[in-house]
Amino acid sequence: MDPCVFCQIIAREAPAAVVREWDDALAFAPLGPVVPGHLLVIPKQHVTDVAEDPAVSAAAMRAASELATPPCNIITSAGREATQTVFHLHLHIVPRRDGDGLALPWYSSRLVLPGGAA
């Protein structure tokens, strides 16, 4: 089994631009940010995804909420089919602005919510 790169970052065995650390979580800039200010928040305890341990997932969301500044997306994926590529729970904080051109992976012009919002 390949070592978990996020566990290596937590152990300071792999480099990362850490922006904040809590007792139970760590926030850092990803290598390929999709927009300026894009951050990742990971729990220090290794769990594969958001469904594995609700308490760990809640702690990671608490940390992400302390860094999030609206407008933004906070996104996580669970499973390869859901586009997860690193199998250690991580939350993307993605700052947004009008006209940034960044489409969510499930965006469709056919998706219209009540009230006309997409």
Enumerate the active-site residues.
90
d(CA 58, CA 115): 30
Alpha carbon distance 66, 7 (integer Å): 22
Closest residue by Cα to residue 87 from 11, 4, 16: 4
Question: Reduced to 3 states, what is the DSSP secondary structure of residue 39?
Answer: strand
Question: How deeply is 67 buried, as exposed, middle or buried, from its count of CB atoms within 10 A (0-12, 13-18, 19+)?
Answer: middle
- 94: β partners: 73
